[in-house]
């Protein structure tokens, strides 16, 4: 992992001063001081460099974005939405930078963020890194107007905040760079020429908002495309649905007209023209600087805001550097690639680390056991190796995580090939812990094919156990404690139908109350059973009919892995090693698919 040292306030001010003849700013307070006699001085000095001509001559930083050529390639002909050019929003503007006096001038897009500091701008990290000279932000930029004729004046950038783990992404369909998820930057600005703070001048700001997933019905993206495709220098807007860029914590949208210059554009969930508020969930950037490998104008990406962006914003508001010991960024993707994940023999999700967030435990075909701590946003932290490859754990045939025996943290229950069943009540990041024998070798548990924990009698936590036997019968065990399965009850007699249950996992399906069960049948169909209890299987709903795709689902587990914390997230490992997370899976439909391990990696 490469690291880039974050610029300090003094360093940025010195570089900016070299370009515009500015003095190094002394103010380092977490929030702005009341305007004094010098308020606006930095902006007035910056205005000497950033003339109307120099702003109009600025080139887009991401100039590679183009309209595809050839017959039928227009947005209308292809049936794609096309952005609308308009006069702009007071909360969005142009972010200008330069290589110094006589050097090249560049532009991206920025937006005003509502903070106690009242002087914070959002843009893309690759914009801020690439601009080495003077920086200014111009809300609702008007091409051809001088600094003093801009609707809200210009604001000189005092300090840039970028995650030190971020490095620019050149983009490649064969090489994944997860740190492109960190392509977000915040900037602190001084007062405009009139001595006004940024938010006082524009009368509002966008509310930083965690994205909570990647699929949204209506997101508006506002930016400033390059003048080569936009001679009037107008802003562009487009309201479209978004989806996930597979393998990344990034959103994707399809809308034409987003040429160079739009990097840093805010993605707003409740946009209204020239409103003083709104909720922003990402900024145009990320993979390949915010677009696909072909650099077409109609495909755009944005990092979805989560903990990393929230922490970066907090640092900007406090005007302080981040911790120096940030761990390497893992990204959304589980490490190792699809070839490795073909060897993930068993999965079990539960809160093994005790932080009230779901984790993912994997038993590999070579007997190794690893734990991936969940971040509560559908992603995972660094891999924790609990056991190296060994012959013993190659005999594990079924696993499930549950709060057996009244413990506050889940343990792991394992059924072995010889019929022995053991419980690991203390499993965590430090190891599998002690072993408690629940059933002896060569016991009747040798006939159990699948097992899963759940809340099958209304208690809190996954305290019960459902076991599917080789004859198709189902047994429900409640009152489980260390060394004993408690009370067992047969809720389904032997039958031919359930011998075709290829996979099953207990969960909490969205929109239901009580304990639920997901079953993948041998024909590829997927069913949900809601209200499972000692009285029976409850109500069956078909999520997916027979199909060839789901016949390739090899392993699955359900757990609490995303922000709603309801435990209805489904993880599936496919035959080719691709691994998917279906967030917020409901009783009648699968949730949104997020790629944890892309195919062919």
Over residues 98-119, mean pLDDT? 89
| Tokens of residue 353, six digits | 């680390």
b or e along 168-177 (b: 16 or more beta carbons within 10 Å of the residue's beta carbon)? bbebeeeebb
How far is the C-alpha of 464 from the C-alpha of 423, rounded, in Å?
A: 13
- How many residues in the chain? 601
Percent of residues, the chain, with pLDDT higher than 90: 64
Q: What ranges in 189-324 are assigned the alpha helix state H?
A: 198-202, 307-318
Residue 279 sits at φ, ψ, to 5 deg, of -115, 125
Q: Mapping DSSP to helix (H, G, I), strand (E, B) and coil, where does residue 116 land?
A: coil
Q: Which pLDDT score, from 0 to 100, does residue 261 have? A: 95
Token pair, residue 537, equals: 């299987």
Question: Does 558 or 376 have the greater pLDDT score?
Answer: 558
State pLDDT tens for residues 70-90. Answer: 544 555 456 899 999 999 999
Residue 463 burial by Cβ neighbours in a 10 Å radius (0-12, 13-18, 19+):
buried
- Among the ranges given (163-177, 490-504, 580-594), the one the predictor scored with the smallest mean pLDDT: 163-177
Give the mean pLDDT of 6-12.
30
> How many C-beta atoms surround the C-beta of residue 324 within 10 A?
9
Mean pLDDT is lowest, of 16-30, 169-183, 278-292, 476-490, for 16-30
What secondary structure letter does DSSP report for 168? -
Position 601 scores a pLDDT of 62
For residue 66, CA distances in Å to 229, 289, 301, 584 come to 9, 14, 15, 37
Given a cut of 50, whether residue 17 has pLDDT beyond it is: no
Task: Pull the structure tokens for residue 428.
Answer: 């965590």
Q: Report yes or no: 177 and 249 within 8 Å, Cβ to Cβ.
A: no
pLDDT of amino acid 485: 94
Split at pLDDT 50, 70, 90, the class of 342 is very high
**Residue 23 pLDDT exceeds 80:** no
Beta bridge partners of 279: 207
- Statement: the pTM of the whole predicted model exceeds 0.85: no
Domains of the chain (ranges, CATH numbers): 9-31+39-318 (2.40.10.120), 397-597 (2.110.10)
> What is the pLDDT confidence band of residue 383, given thresholds at 50, 70 and 90?
confident
Task: Count Cα neighbours of 283 within 13 Å in the Cβ-side half-sphere.
Answer: 31
For residues 464-476, average pLDDT: 96
Give every CB contact of residue 472 below 8 A, 6+ residues apart in sequence: 492, 494, 495, 496, 497, 498, 499, 501
Measured CA to CA in angstroms, residue 91 lies from 61, 85, 275, 279, 310 at distances of 21, 16, 8, 11, 19
Residues 6+ apart with CB under 8 A from 523: 500, 546, 547, 551
**Cα–Cα distance between 439 and 467 in angstroms, integer?**
14
CB 245, CB 282: distance < 8 Å: no
Q: Can you give the pLDDT at residue 380?
A: 84
Asked which of 20-34, 136-150, 322-336, 503-517 is least confident by mean pLDDT, the reply is 20-34
Q: How far is CA 565 from CA 69, 213, 494, in A?
A: 46, 13, 36
pLDDT, the chain, mean: 87
Contact 579, 341 (CB under 8 A): yes
DSSP state at residue 33: P
Q: What are phi and psi of 190, to 5 degrees?
A: -85, 180
Compare 7 and 453 and report the one with higher pLDDT. Answer: 453
Number of Cα atoms under 13 Å in the Cβ half of residue 402: 31
Q: How confident is the model at residue 355 (pLDDT cuts 50, 70, 90)?
A: confident
Residue 407 has pLDDT above 70, yes or no: no
Residue 450: Cβ within 10 Å count: 21
């Amino acid at each position: 992992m490469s690291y880039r040292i974050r610029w300090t306030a003094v360093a940025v001010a010195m570089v900016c001063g070299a370009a515009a003849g500015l003095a190094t700013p002394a103010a380092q307070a977490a929030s702005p001081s009341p305007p004094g006699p010098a308020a606006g001085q930095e902006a007035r000095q910056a205005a000497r460099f950033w003339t109307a001509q120099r702003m109009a001559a600025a080139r887009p930083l991401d100039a590679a974005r183009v309209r595809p050529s050839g017959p039928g390639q227009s947005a209308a002909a292809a049936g794609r939405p096309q952005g609308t050019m308009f006069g702009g929003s007071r909360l969005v503007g142009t972010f200008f930078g330069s290589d110094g006096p006589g050097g090249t001038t560049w532009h991206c897009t920025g937006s005003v963020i509502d903070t106690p500091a009242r002087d914070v701008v959002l843009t893309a990290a690759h914009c801020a890194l690439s601009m080495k000279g003077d920086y200014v932000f111009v809300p609702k930029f008007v091409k051809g107007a001088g600094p003093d004729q801009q609707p809200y004046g210009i604001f000189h950038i005092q300090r840039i905040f970028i995650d030190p783990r971020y490095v620019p992404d050149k983009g490649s369909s064969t090489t994944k760079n997860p740190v492109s998820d960190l392509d977000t930057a915040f900037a602190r600005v001084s007062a405009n020429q009139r001595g006004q703070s940024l938010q006082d001048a524009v009368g509002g700001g966008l509310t930083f908002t965690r994205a909570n997933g990647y699929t949204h019905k209506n997101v508006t993206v506002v930016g400033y495309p390059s003048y080569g495709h936009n001679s009037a220098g107008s802003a562009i807007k487009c309201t479209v649905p978004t989806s996930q860029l597979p393998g990344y914590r990034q959103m994707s949208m399809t809308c034409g007209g987003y040429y160079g210059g739009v990097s840093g554009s805010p993605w707003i969930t409740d946009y209204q023209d020239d409103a003083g508020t709104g909720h922003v969930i990402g900024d145009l950037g990320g993979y390949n600087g915010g677009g696909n490998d072909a650099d077409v104008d109609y495909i755009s990406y944005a990092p979805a805001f989560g903990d990393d962006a929230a922490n970066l914003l907090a640092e900007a508001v406090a005007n302080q550097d981040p911790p120096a010991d940030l761990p390497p960024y893992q990204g959304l993707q589980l490490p190792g690639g699809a070839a490795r994940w073909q060897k993930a023999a068993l999965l079990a999700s539960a809160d093994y680390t005790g932080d009230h967030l779901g984790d993912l435990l994997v038993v590999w075909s070579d007997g190794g056991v690893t734990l991936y701590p969940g971040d509560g946003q559908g992603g995972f932290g660094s891999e924790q190796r609990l056991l190296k490859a060994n012959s013993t754990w190659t005999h594990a045939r079924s696993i499930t995580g549950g709060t057996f025996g009244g413990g506050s943290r889940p343990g792991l229950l394992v059924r072995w090939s010889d019929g022995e069943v053991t419980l690991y009540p203390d499993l965590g990041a430090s190891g599998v812990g002690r072993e408690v024998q629940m059933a002896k070798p060569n016991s009747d548990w040798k006939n159990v094919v699948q097992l899963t924990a759940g809340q099958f009698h209304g208690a809190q936590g996954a305290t019960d156990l459902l076991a599917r036997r080789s004859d198709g019968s189902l047994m429900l065990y409640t009152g489980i404690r260390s060394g004993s399965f408690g009370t067992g009850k047969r809720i389904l007699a032997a039958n031919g139908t359930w011998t075709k249950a290829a996979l099953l996992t207990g969960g909490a399906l969205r929109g239901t109350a009580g304990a639920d069960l997901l079953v993948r049948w041998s024909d590829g169909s997927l069913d949900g059973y809601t209200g499972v209890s000692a009285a029976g299987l409850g109500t069956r709903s078909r999520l997916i009919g027979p199909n060839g795709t789901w016949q390739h689902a090899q392993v699955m587990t359900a757990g609490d892995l995303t922000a709603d914390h309801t435990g209805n997230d489904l993880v599936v490992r496919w035959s080719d090693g691709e691994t998917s997370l279906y967030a917020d899976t409901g009783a009648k439909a699968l949730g949104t698919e997020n790629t944890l391990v892309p195919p062919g990696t």
